[in-house]
Amino acid sequence: MLTAGGPATATTALTSLVDDDGAALFTDGDTIRIRNVQKGGIDLPDASFVVGTNGSTLGDFATFLQDLAAIDTSLTTTDGQTPGVTVDATGALVVVSNAGEPNAISIEASDIRNETSGRLPFSFTTTPATGEGVSTAMIVFDSLGNPVEVRLRAAMESRDESGVVWRFFVESTDDTDPSPLLGTGTLSFDQNGQLVASTGTDITIDQADSGSATPLSFSLDMSDVTGLNFGNDTSSLVLATQNGAPGGTLIDYGIDGDGILVGTFSNGRTQQYGQLALATFRNNEGLSALNGNNFEVGINSGDAQITAPRTQGAGSIISGSLELSNVDLSREFVNLITASTGFSAASRVIRSADDMLQELLLLAR
């Protein structure tokens, strides 16, 4: 990159940059469009930089690219370089990735264009990232049940006779900070590939103006991770389980043997809403019968002892089943015979009345 006076520096205003013919490359308000940039072979989101709004100097644009690529500048690479996007002595942008193939930044001059003029204004020098690594994506959920994508990139940091140390980087494009980098941590394995220590597993994502609680905080449980391979073998990281879920609606409910009312939601989650209670009595025979199968506390029944099912002698709940008959059969048969006899007697009265009316009609003739 050049200015009228020579090579550009980080403090050079973008509007002062010129091409080989001395023509200005930018004016205030120009939109610089960034497309097709990859990190670890995975496309990064497209982005736009407006000259004079998002920054005014070449260093501002370098920082913008650095944030877009989620480069951690606090660490050094295996060959002692400091990761980041800087301006070299010729005015070119130098991109140094974090260690490990999953962190390798792939960017070309054609990936960045001045949308206003259509020109390709920048030149780049990219340092290849070395070292084995793995990458995985996962979904976490905010307080409203909205999905938030998180990516974890891990690369081997060191190894010696005591074991291997891997460093991981956590990123999320849903983070509202300038950089999607959420944090970094380490996984330490012994000689048998068993995890002995982990750091940096508590993660927060800022979600300003999203309507949900911010920051979104969660923890990575690495306890089931075993030694990641390096060399000819490949490793993988997979999210096995999580305790978050998207929003859902109640679609069904059930009652178990303990009387607990459990609701089932469309997102596959369940939730307990309450528990049915049962009453026991010292003398069940002392209850006073009401109509149907209803009883109330009697003089000799004792007070009701309210308890949960399957405790203190109370029975269990059988959900979705019909109750077997518990009526007094002898009493019901007596009632049946009484009703039948009454019906028969009533019919005879009606017949006798009919006979008397017929006799009256005959006398009238």
Per-residue pLDDT for 230 more than 60? no
Structure tokens of 35?
Answer: 């497309």
The structure tokens 């012994």 sit at 190
Q: Of 100, 120, 102, 124, which Cα lies nearest the Cα of 110?
A: 120
The structure tokens 């013919």 sit at 21
Query: Which segment of 51-55, 178-182, 296-300 scores lowest on mean pLDDT?
Result: 296-300
CA 207 to chain centre: 15
Cβ atoms of 111 and 34 within 8 Å: the answer is: yes
- Can you tell me the mean pLDDT for 149-173? 91
CA 32 to chain centre: 34
- Can you tell me the mean pLDDT for 197-211? 92
Q: How far is CA 110 from CA 35, 71, 248, in A?
A: 9, 21, 45
Per-residue pLDDT for 3 more than 80? no
| Percent with pLDDT over 70 in the chain | 96
What is the rounded average pLDDT for all residues in the chain? 87
Report which of residues 228 and 144 the model is more confident about.
144
What residue ranges do the domains of the chain occupy? Answer: 2-127, 133-219, 250-307, 328-365
pLDDT at 193: 85
Report which of residues 142 and 312 the model is more confident about.
142
What's the CA gap between 243 and 265, in Å, rounded?
15
pTM of the predicted model over 0.75: no
- Can you tell me the mean pLDDT for 303-322? 84
pLDDT at 294: 84
Q: Which long-range contacts (CB under 8 A, 24 or more apart) does 59-62 make?
A: 59/9, 59/10, 59/11, 59/12, 59/87, 60/14, 61/14, 61/32, 61/93, 62/10, 62/86, 62/87, 62/93
- Can you tell me the mean pLDDT for 210-217? 91
Backbone CA torsion sign across 48, 53, 55, 57: positive
Cβ atoms of 162 and 191 within 8 Å: the answer is: yes
pLDDT at 229: 64
